[in-house]
Amino acid sequence: MKEFFDINRFFKLVRKDYSERLPVTLKIVTIFSLLLAGFWVSLIIFNGSQVDAEARVLYIYAATFLAMLMAPFNLYKSYNHPKKGLDYIMLPASVTEKFASMLLNSIILLPFATFLGVLIADTFISTVNPSLFNGFAIVNLGSAGEIAEKYGEAVIVQLGFIFGNFLFKKNKVFKTLMSAAGLYILFAMVIMFLLTTVFKSDFEALKSLNTSIKVNSLSDFEHITGAEGITSLLKGFYYSVLVIFYVICPVSFLGGTYYKMKTQQY
């Protein structure tokens, strides 16, 4: 069992990983915080108008999401490098421990540091210059449930980028972005085919119903009111999409990443 996972060995690896990647983490946090500060300075120079807290909340979420996508390529870009990856692969830790440490740094520590860093920068600017940064973003972040839902969906996308980082050895970012775009287009084409062909009659029937549909995220498709006539087949399609996005995709990305780490050849 200890060959597979040892808690003491794991925490030693986490400390080593974190200390070695802390400069990169701080660099990313600083970049996104300075972008916000730079925007504030530009408002002062060019006599810009007031920016509401709700708009700045969007930036905080966007910065955190971008940091999550950047994380694998910045923190673990050399893992499958023919020469640079040898040092990490030779560490006295199992693949499972390295896999868990990588996820901890990429999915939790860096996003949290970015989110907190930009939020602190926004709070500071709002305190010293409330005439331009109206209100505090921290009180407009939304409920804990909304934050958790946004974070969960962002993690699923990030897992795909983590897999791309371990799948490709050269031009990782470009190939991962192209693969993501290809998967998105393929998925969209399948969805459109199903909606316009297989479930065409169901959606035509919806036109005669008093429906209320609000879609901000995938889960919002569940909040359809006044559509009791939707067939069980259409409902099955909806839940199938949820299973694909929330279960099959993350499990496939995690399994693929672990397999690549375990079978990496140098």
Domain boundaries of the chain, sorted by first residue: 1-141, 163-266
pLDDT of residue 240: 79
Stated pTM of the model? 0.83
pLDDT of residue 2: 62
Identity of residue 50: Q
pLDDT of residue 242: 83
Q: Tell me if residue 133 falls in helix, strand or coil.
A: strand
Q: Tell me if residue 225 falls in helix, strand or coil.
A: strand
- pLDDT tens profile 43-82: 999 888 889 999 999 999 999 999 999 999 999 988 887 6
Give CA 145 to chain center in angstroms: 16
Question: Which of the pair, 229 or 95, is modelled with greater confidence?
Answer: 95
Question: Which of the pair, 196 or 164, is modelled with greater confidence?
Answer: 164
Closest CA to 61 of 127, 162, 149: 149
pLDDT of residue 24: 93
pLDDT at residue 7 greater than cutoff 80:
yes
pLDDT at residue 200 greater than cutoff 90:
no
Tokens 């690896």 -> residue:
13
Average pLDDT for 157-163: 95
pLDDT of residue 218: 47
Contact 249, 153 (CB under 8 A): no
- How far apart CA 45 and CA 64 sit, in angstroms, is 27
Q: Tell me if residue 2 falls in helix, strand or coil.
A: coil
pLDDT of residue 196: 74
DSSP secondary-structure letter at 212? Answer: B
pLDDT of residue 203: 62
Query: pLDDT band for position 215 (50/70/90)?
Result: very low
Structure tokens at 17: 């990983």
Query: pLDDT band for position 206 (50/70/90)?
Result: low
